[in-house]
A = this chain, B = another copy of it.
């Protein structure tokens, strides 16, 4: 039994969450899909944080196995894949939102990020709808 499986067996919802989505790279990939409209391996690779290819491949596999993301063949380019969030993945929006709110109290945000925080604070429901319908 791996350490991860052992931890899940404690039944703690915090531990389960952390084992499923809570390593930093996984949540950054989810952020990119949720807030930046990123969909392809190349998109994720180009994030500001410079994820390495082997970590990216590993995390995409993990998130797919956990049912957080789904992988489809790109209808426009059969050699390429598109990743989308599942319901279980979209459900993570409040965790991302609260992380942003917390950071917003402790670091200086640029104009664009202040606008994001403002939307989370004043129109959370509308923002969630836009995320789910791909309008972000």
Contacts and interface: CB of A to CB of B under 8 A. Distances in A.
B50 A6 contact: yes
Contacts of A99: 13-14, 17-18, 22, 95
Contact of A94 (B91, B102, B113): B102
A12 to B, nearest CB: 7
A105 interface: yes
Given A91-B105, A95-B95, 5 more contacts: A14-B35, A15-B48, A17-B100, A18-B24, A23-B24
A96 interface: yes
18 contacts: A6-B50, A7-B49, A11-B109, A11-B110, A11-B113, A12-B31, A13-B113, A14-B99, A14-B100, A14-B103, A15-B49, A16-B103, A16-B106, A17-B100, A18-B24, A18-B27, A22-B23, A23-B24
Contact of A98 (B15, B27, B94, B107): B94
Interface in A92-136: 92, 94-110, 113, 117
A112 to B, nearest CB: 10
Contacts of A110: 11
B104 A13 contact: yes
Contacts of A107: 11, 13, 16
A28 interface: yes
